[in-house]
Amino acid sequence: MAQYRKERLDRPIKARCEDIFALTSMREILYLIFPRALLIVGVLIFPLLKGVVGLYWEKVLVITCVIGLLSLSWDLMAQVGLISLGQAFFFGVGAYITGILNHKFSLPPFVTIPLGTIGGGIVSTLFLLPALRARGVYFSILTLIIPLLLSRLIEATKIFGGTEGLSGLTPFQNFWIETYLPIFALLVCLFGFRRLINSDYGLIVQGVRDNDRIVMSIGINIYKIKAHILFISSLVGAFAGSFITHYYRFVGLPAFALDYSILPLACAILGGPGSFAGALVGSFILVPLSEVLRVLGSLRVVFYSLILAVCILSLPEGIFHYIQRKYHQFERIVEI
């Protein structure tokens, strides 16, 4: 009579290290590809279901992607040990550069968005370069202050439209472009960042976070590494701002609002920092959740905050890391 025992699905493919896999069959490849494919196919198909889910939820998807981008950019900075409380700074600078270019010079979106992204990246990086010397919480406070300072400056000096902002900007005029652009950007960032952080360069980046004295002692300028990562992060944040400017056809003080600093951080913490996928999972939970809770009327924020608090307390490692662990613990019955 045949005997059976349980075996973990990941058992045969783990080789020596936690993250080196030896794949020998199609089934094992599928096992690893499935979660990634689920995400990619899911977000790519969603806009095609416009007729079923309605335009409202398509807009929610776009906003989710934008917050997801900010969340990824926060997570990347956290990888080098820079804990930012001011993702709104990158977002706002990108948004304003794009808005001004479109408003003053009537440039079309396919010109203003790349310019706003690169310009926003350069401006915010230069602005924060002196702050890179500050460590830990001191850096965080600096990033928190800067967007608040800029929004007050615009309010007081009435430059760039002051409190009114700049409105009537050029729309995308095409549903497919305005929906797929943030989706593609999100997927490129997610897989790009994961690749970057697993490369040898990524090891240095994590090294700066874990023990910067060692990294200095082997002859690597840690401020250069921090500046590189800051630049990449601010590019992504500025892109999100540039995109939203044309999506809303408006840029104003809300671009520097605290929401764009705190929400991406909450998403990354809820999903689980350090994996990028966690940041994505977080934003795909928090943003739609906030929309679902609208039925509760004025108690929306109360329930929203409660759910957030319970999740963070019960799953401190982050939702993504929890799911990942459970996924690798799946068992199958094998014949002995």
Partner 1 sequence: MANVILKVANLCKYFGGVVGIEEVSFELKEGELLGIIGPNGAGKTTLINLITGFVKADKGKVIFKGRDITNLPPWKIAQLGIVRTFQLVKPFYRLPAYKNLVVALCSPRVKTFRGGKYGKRDETALNLLEDVGFERDSAVPYKQASDLPHGYLKRLELARCLALRPEVLILDELFSGMSIAELGSTLPIIKRFKEEGKGVIMVEHRLKELFEVADRVIVLNFGKIIAEGTTYEILENEDVRSAYLGAEEEEAINA
Site residues (vs partner 1, CB under 8 A): 16-18, 200-201, 203-204, 206-207, 210-211, 213-222
Angle subtended at Cα 160 by Cα 96 and Cα 107, rounded to the nearest 5 degrees: 55
Specify which residues 331 forms β-bridges with.
8
d(CA 187, CA 193): 10
Q: Which two tokens stand for residue 96?
A: 């304003």
Which residues fall within 8 angstroms of residue 170, CB to CB, at 6 or more apart? 102, 106, 108, 109, 246, 249
Q: How far is the CB of 18 from partner 1 (least distance, A)?
A: 8
Q: How far is the CB of 80 from partner 1 (least distance, A)?
A: 13
Q: Which is nearer to partner 1, 218 or 313 (CB)?
A: 218
Q: How far is the CB of 275 from partner 1 (least distance, A)?
A: 13
Q: Which is nearer to partner 1, 205 or 285 (CB)?
A: 205
Q: In what helix (H) or strand (E) does residue 188 lie, and over which residues does it extend?
A: helix 175-198
Q: How far is the CB of 106 from partner 1 (least distance, A)?
A: 47
d(CA 172, CA 258): 26
Q: Which is nearer to partner 1, 168 or 219 (CB)?
A: 219
Q: How far is the CB of 223 from partner 1 (least distance, A)?
A: 9
Q: Which is nearer to partner 1, 15 or 48 (CB)?
A: 15
d(CA 53, CA 281): 20
Q: How far is the CB of 220 from partner 1 (least distance, A)?
A: 6
Q: Residues 111, 97: contact at Cβ < 8 Å?
A: no
Q: Which two tokens stand for residue 48?
A: 């095609």
d(CA 100, CA 206): 37
Q: Which two tokens stand for residue 118?
A: 């690169």
Q: How far is the CB of 247 from partner 1 (least distance, A)?
A: 39
d(CA 270, CA 286): 9
Which residues fall within 8 angstroms of residue 329, CB to CB, at 6 or more apart? 8
Q: Which is nearer to partner 1, 113 or 205 (CB)?
A: 205
Q: Which is nearer to partner 1, 188 or 203 (CB)?
A: 203
Q: Which is nearer to partner 1, 101 or 215 (CB)?
A: 215
Dihedral angle at the C-alpha atoms of 135, 138, 139, 143, nearest 10 degrees? 180
Q: How far is the CB of 16 from partner 1 (least distance, A)?
A: 5
Q: How far is the CB of 215 from partner 1 (least distance, A)?
A: 7
Q: Which is nearer to partner 1, 5 or 16 (CB)?
A: 16
Within a 13 Å sphere around the CA of 259, how many CA atoms are in the beta-carbon half?
A: 11
Amino acid at 209: R
Angle subtended at Cα 50 by Cα 288 and Cα 291, rounded to the nearest 5 degrees: 15
Q: Which is nearer to partner 1, 79 or 245 (CB)?
A: 79
